[in-house]
Chains A and B, each alone.
Chain A
Amino acid sequence: MATTYRRKPTKAEIRRQKMEELAMFPIDWLEERSGLIGGVRYFLFRNVPADINWMQTLGSAALTAFLVQAITGVILAMYYVPSAATDPKTGDPVAWESIVHITDDLTLGWLVRGMHRWGASVFIILMFLHMGRVFLFGAYKYPRELNWIIGVLILVSGMMEGFTGYLLPWDQTAYWATVVGINLNGTAPFLGPWLAQFLRGGQEISGETLTRFYSLHMLLIPGAIIGLITLHLYLVIRLGVTSPPWSKDAAGMEPEEEEGARLRPGLTRPVPRPSGASAMQAEPGGQE
Chain B
Amino acid sequence: MAAIPKEKPSRIDEARAEFARYKADVKARGKPFYPYAMFHDTIMSLVVVCTIIGLAVIWKWSAWGPDHDPTHTGLRGAEVAAPADPGTTSFVPRPDWYFYFLFYLLRIFKWPESVFLGTVGVPTIALILLIMLPFLDRRRVRRPSARPVAMVAAVLTIISMGVLTWKGATAKEALASEVVRDVPNWVKAENLPANALPGAQLFATAGCTACHTYNGSGGSNLGAPDLTEIGSRNLGLQFQVNHLKCPSCVNPGSAMPPFASLGDERLNQLAVFLEASKGSP
Contact = CB atoms under 8 A, between A and B. Distances in A.
Interface of A: 43-50, 52, 54, 56-58, 60-61, 64-65, 68, 84, 92-93, 96, 99-100, 103-104, 110-111, 113-115, 117-122, 124, 126, 132, 135-145, 148-149, 152, 156, 159, 162-163, 166, 169-177, 179-181, 183-189, 192-193, 203-205, 240, 242, 245-246, 249, 251-254, 273-274, 276-277, 280-281, 284-288
B172 interface: no
A46 B257 contact: no
B152 interface: no
Contact of B32 (A46, A56, A152, A193): A46
Contacts, number: 303
B41 interface: yes
Q: How large is the interface on B (under 10, 10 to 19, 20 to 34, 35 or more residues)?
A: 35 or more
Given A117-B59, A159-B98, A252-B18, A187 B30 contact: no
B52 A172 contact: no
A118 B55 contact: yes
A57 B32 contact: no
Interface string B110-151: 000001100110000001001101110111111111010010
B25 A252 contact: yes
- Secondary structure type dominating chain A contacts: helix
A110 B70 CA distance: 12
A240 B20 CA distance: 12
Contact of B142 (A113, A156, A179, A242): A242
Question: 9 tightest CB-CB pairs across the interface, nearest first?
Answer: A114-B56, A252-B22, A47-B30, A138-B142, A284-B20, A280-B24, A145-B134, A175-B84, A118-B55
B144 A286 contact: no
Given A138-B141, A142-B15, A189-B120, A99 B134 contact: no
Given A141-B140, A171-B82, A152 B127 contact: yes
Contact of B21 (A54, A93, A281): A281
B124 to A, nearest CB: 8
Nearest to B20: A284
Contacts of A126: 48
Given A124-B98, A166-B95, A183-B256, A172 B248 contact: no
Given A96-B80, A284-B17, 12 more contacts: A118-B59, A122-B55, A141-B142, A175-B84, A176-B93, A176-B257, A184-B222, A186-B248, A187-B115, A187-B253, A189-B120, A193-B253
Interface of B: 12, 15-34, 36-38, 40-41, 43-45, 47-49, 51-53, 55-57, 59-60, 68, 70, 76, 79-86, 88, 91-99, 102, 106, 115-116, 119-120, 127, 130-131, 133-135, 137-145, 147, 150, 154, 158, 222, 246, 248, 252-258
Contact of B120 (A99, A115, A145, A188): A188
A104 B70 contact: yes
